[in-house]
Structures are given as C-alpha cells and as structure tokens.
Amino acid sequence: MSKILVTGGAGFIGSNFVRLLLAQRRHSVVNLDKLTYAGNLENLKDVESDPRYAFVKADIADRPAMERVFAEHRPEVVVHLAAESHVDRSVLDASAFVLTNVLGTQVLLDVARQHGVQRFVHVSTDEVYGSLGATGKFSETTPLAPNSPYSSSKAGSDLLVRAAFHTHHFPAIITRCSNNYGPYQFPEKLIPLMIANALEGKKLPVYGDGRNVRDWIYVTDHCEAIALVMEKGRDGEVYNIGGDAERENLHVVRTILKLLGRGEDLIQYVKDRPGHDRRYAIDHTKIAGELGWRPRHDFETALARTVEWYVQNRPWWERVRSGAYRTYYETQYGGRLKGG
Ligand code: NAD
Ligand code: TYD
C-alpha cells in the first residue's frame, strides 16, 4: 500500500480518480487542491469520511506550502492533475495558466524530487499536439504544436517533466488524453454545458460551423489508464489515452437534445473560438500493447448514462451555477484543516 498525493483532486477528473483509487486499490490518498472556481469538494462528499482520505487546500505554485505538505504527508507517489483547464478562459487571460500549469508543475517537480518521490504521473492532454486535418491520429512521437494558451501551458509543463527525467533521473511519466466526459464535469465544458442549458430551456451555443471533431472518452476509462500507468508504466515515457470515439460537436449536441427530448431549435450558432483546433484523434496502441489498457465505454451508451447523471443530480450543477458550492469547504471543513 502506498500514500498517493493527487493534485487537483477536487476537479472533474481528479475527483473521479480519487474515488477510483479508494474503491479499487488499498492506497491512501491525499487530495491537494487550491479550490479555484473549478475545485468542488462536493464532488467527493461520498468519500470524505474514509480514513484513507485526506484533503489539503494549497496552491501547487506556493513552494513553502508544498514543502510543508510533503514534509507532513510524505507521499511515495504523485499523480498531478491540478491545472487551469478551460481553453476559452485561457483566450481571455493566460496568466493563471502560466502560473499554475507551468510554474506550479515545476515547483511540484522540485519538491517531489527533494522528498524522494518514487513515481510522478503528469496528466496532460492531446491538445499539446495541435490540430489534425481530416485524417491521421496523434501518436506519442507527433511533434508538439500547441495552439491555445491552455495547450501551450500544458506543453510547457510536459517539457519540464521531460527535463526532470532527463536531467535529474526523476521517475516521471506523462499521459496525454483526449476529451473527457462524465459525472462532476464543470458545466463550462461542451457536454455538461449543453445538458444543463437544454434542461433549463436555454440556447446551446455551438461555435463556428459545429464540425470540429473531438475524440471523446468516458472519464473512468481515463482514470483506469492513469492508475495503470501509475502502477506499471515506464519512467520517462509518454502514453497517449483516447476513447476511439471521434464525433463532430454538432453530432454530440444533437444527441444530447434527442436524449432529453428537446428540439434542435435550441441550437444557436455563435462566433467561433479564436484559433479553434479543428480535429483531435488519439492513437493509443502504445498503452494498449504495453499495459493492456483499452477504453471500455462506447460513446452513445456512456453519453446517455452521463445525461441521466446530470438529470438525476440537478442540485449538483445548480449549486455550481449559482456559486453555492463555494461555501461547502468553509461549512464542512472550516477550522478543521491545516494548510488552508
Ligand atoms: P478541472 O478544471 O475540472 O480541475 C482542475 C482542478 O485543479 C480543480 O479542482 C482546481 O481547483 C485545481 N487547481 C487549479 N489550480 C490549482 C493550483 N494552482 N494548485 C492546486 N490546485 C489547483 O480539470 P479536469 O478537466 O479535471 O482536468 C484535470 C487534468 O487533466 C488537467 O491537468 C487537464 O489539463 C488534464 N486533462 C483534461 C482533459 C479533459 O477533457 N477535461 C483531457 C485531458 C487532460
Ligand atoms: P471544450 O469542452 O471546451 O473542450 P476543448 O476545447 O478542450 O476540446 O470544447 C469541446 C468542443 O466544443 C470544442 O470544439 C469547442 C466546442 N464548444 C462549443 O461549440 N460551444 C461551447 O459552448 C463550448 C464550451 C465548446
């Protein structure tokens, strides 16, 4: 059994990953999260009383805070998911992306190395490879060509992780995954935004012609891949993770409307995102061959399950939209935690 420090565990993928670790492994987990707008401890309500789980509120770019957390908790493994993650926000202001994704990752690498961490999994994105034309897929050897401030800051962090391995022999691994969907995704990303808007009878804003393609993966498939890489991956390697589910945005939006019994009149074409990447597609033969991983969920079935989750868990996203979720940390944890 190991002690695993998960950064960004209060976010979408992080909370699903923490839940998977506690349910399927014997490890103990320290969830380190700054609780930005994207961090929501209500995502982990069901596990917060588990004795193997602890939460620390801290910023990965704050070196003294990281030194305190590592000295106190002494993690053997770090799984690094904390990041600013939304492309549209990075177009408006890139500064938090550079601070957290670039500087924060370097601080974490330094402190983890000083404390003799045995494995560091850096969770990155296929967006670092840039945009594809009509054919082809991203492999681990595709040159990095990020186009947005978000993907550029993630590419910067990937290169710093690579440098820590080559320069200091630090045992780090990088994963690059395609677009995730599933429970607890912040309703600013395509799928939860469209579901919530449709449920409220609001317009569904489709950027440009709606023909951009993403390779969708159900979040638990991604989390299983991260856990496998953490346990069996090779130091210094990159592993691509994808869902084998390329779909145009318009197809995704129409399917959501159909699942909810709403009409296509709710679709509203809006001005395109500046620098909007056209197509992403992942070749995941490396992780399949080396670690025996493959996505388990088929897109249409898992999307229907996701839509049902947002229908059943309306209070969760209504509290996010109203901002009420921001009070949960204070009321539930206030005064009981160090490092806040
Ligand atoms: P998210 O925005 O839902 O969650 C990010 C979490 O990081 C939040 O809980 C936030 O509070 C925390 N955080 C932000 N800045 C921090 C800081 N300075 N210190 C500590 N915590 C901080 O993101 P997500 O969609 O769950 O993505 C998680 C990771 O996976 C990111 O690194 C992202 O780049 C990567 N990724 C995401 C996708 C996707 O489709 N969502 C795909 C591939 C890779
Ligand atoms: P998003 O969920 O922001 O993920 P990413 O940009 O990281 O791939 O967007 C997914 C796709 O959906 C992308 O092509 C942009 C598009 N999109 C819309 O058309 N409307 C929206 O309101 C949003 C948020 C995204």
Of 155, 145, 178, nearest in space to 297 by CA: 178
Asked if 64 and 338 touch (Cβ cutoff 8 Å), the reply is: no
Compare 337 and 72 and report the one with higher pLDDT: 72
Is 127 one of the annotated active-site residues of the chain? yes
Q: From the CA of 204, how far away is ligand 1's center (Å)?
A: 24
Q: At what angle do helices 299-312 and 249-259 cross, to 10 degrees?
A: 50
Pick the ligand that lies closest to the CA of residue 34.
Answer: 1
339 lies in some domain: no
Q: What is the pLDDT of residue 217?
A: 98
* Range 76-85 average pLDDT: 98
How much is the pLDDT for 1?
77
DSSP code per residue over 287-323? HHHHH-------HHHHHHHHHHHHHHTHHHHHHHHHT
Distance from C-alpha of 124 to C-alpha of 157, rounded to nearest angstrom: 8
Residue 309 is predicted with a pLDDT of: 98
Please give the average per-residue pLDDT across 286-297, as a whole number. Answer: 98
**From 214, 217, 250, 306, mutation site for ligand 2 pocket: most ligand atoms within 8 A of C-beta:** 214
User: What is the rounded average pLDDT of the residues 97-109?
Assistant: 98
User: What residues form DSSP beta bridges with 172?
Assistant: 120
Catalytic site includes residue 59? no
Residue 27 lies in a domain: yes
> Considering only CA atoms, which of 160, 122, 159 is closest in space to residue 8?
122
Question: What is the CB < 6 Å shell around ligand 2?
Answer: 87, 179, 189-190, 193, 205-207, 212, 214, 249, 273
**Among the options 33, 59, 84, 127, which is catalytic?**
127
Model pLDDT, residue 339: 42
Residue 266 inside a domain? The answer is: yes
Once rounded to an integer, what is the mean pLDDT over residues 188-215? Answer: 98
Confidence category of residue 340, pLDDT binned at 50, 70, 90:
very low
**Domain boundaries, position 128:** 3-333
Q: Which of 249, 251, 277 to mutate to test the pocket of ligand 2 (most atoms within 8 A of CB)?
A: 249
> Which ligand 2 atom sits closest to the C-alpha of 280?
8
Torsion angles phi and psi, residue 155, rounded to 5: -65, -40
pLDDT tens, position by position, 129-174 = 999 999 999 999 999 999 999 999 999 999 999 999 999 999 999 9
Q: What band does 227 get if pLDDT is binned at 50, 70 and 90?
A: very high
DSSP 142-166: SPP---SHHHHHHHHHHHHHHHHHH
Place 320 in a pLDDT band, splitting at 50, 70 and 90. very high
Indicate which residue's Cα is closest to atom 6 of ligand 2: 87
Verify whether ligand 1 is closer than 6 Å to residue 85 (CB atom).
yes
Atom of ligand 1 nearest to the CA of 61: 18
Strand 267-270 to 204-207 pairing: parallel
pLDDT exceeds 90 at position 67: yes
Residue 321 backbone class (left: φ over 0; alpha: ψ -120 to 50; beta: rest): alpha
Q: Give the Cα separation of 216 and 281 in Å (integer).
A: 9
Q: What is the mean pLDDT of residues 72-99?
A: 98
Ligand 1 near 100 CB (within 6 A): yes
Whether 241 is covered by a domain: the verdict is: yes
The string of pLDDT tens digits covering residues 245-283 is 999 999 999 999 999 999 999 999 999 999 999 999 999
CATH code (residue 7): 3.40.50.720
Kindly indicate the confidence band of residue 201, based on its pLDDT and cuts at 50, 70 and 90.
very high
Q: How much distance in Å is there from the Cα of 150 to the middle of ligand 1?
A: 11
Look at ligand 2, atom 11, and give the residue with the nearest C-alpha: 190
DSSP 120: E
Q: Which ligand minimizes its atom distance to the CA of 84?
A: 1
The mean of the pLDDT values for the chain is: 97
Residue 70: inside a domain: yes
pLDDT in tens, 5-51: 999 999 999 999 999 999 999 999 999 999 999 999 999 999 999 99
Helix (H) / strand (E) containing 104: none
Higher pLDDT, residue 330 or 46: 46
137 lies in a domain? yes
- List the structure tokens of 43: 């995502």
Among the bound ligands, the one closest to the CA of 104: 1
The answer to whether 228 and 79 have CB atoms below 8 angstroms apart is no
Structural domain contains residue 340 = no
Let me know if residue 338 belongs to a domain: no
| pLDDT on residue 336 | 55
Q: Are 114 and 130 in contact (CB under 8 A)?
A: no
The answer to whether 188 is a known catalytic residue is: no
Entry pTM: 0.98
Looking at the CA of residue 125, tell me the nearest atom of ligand 2: 7
Question: How many domains, the chain?
Answer: 1
Q: Cα 145 to chain center, whole Å?
A: 20
Give me the percent of the chain exceeding a pLDDT of 70: 98
Tokens 């320290």, located at residue: 30
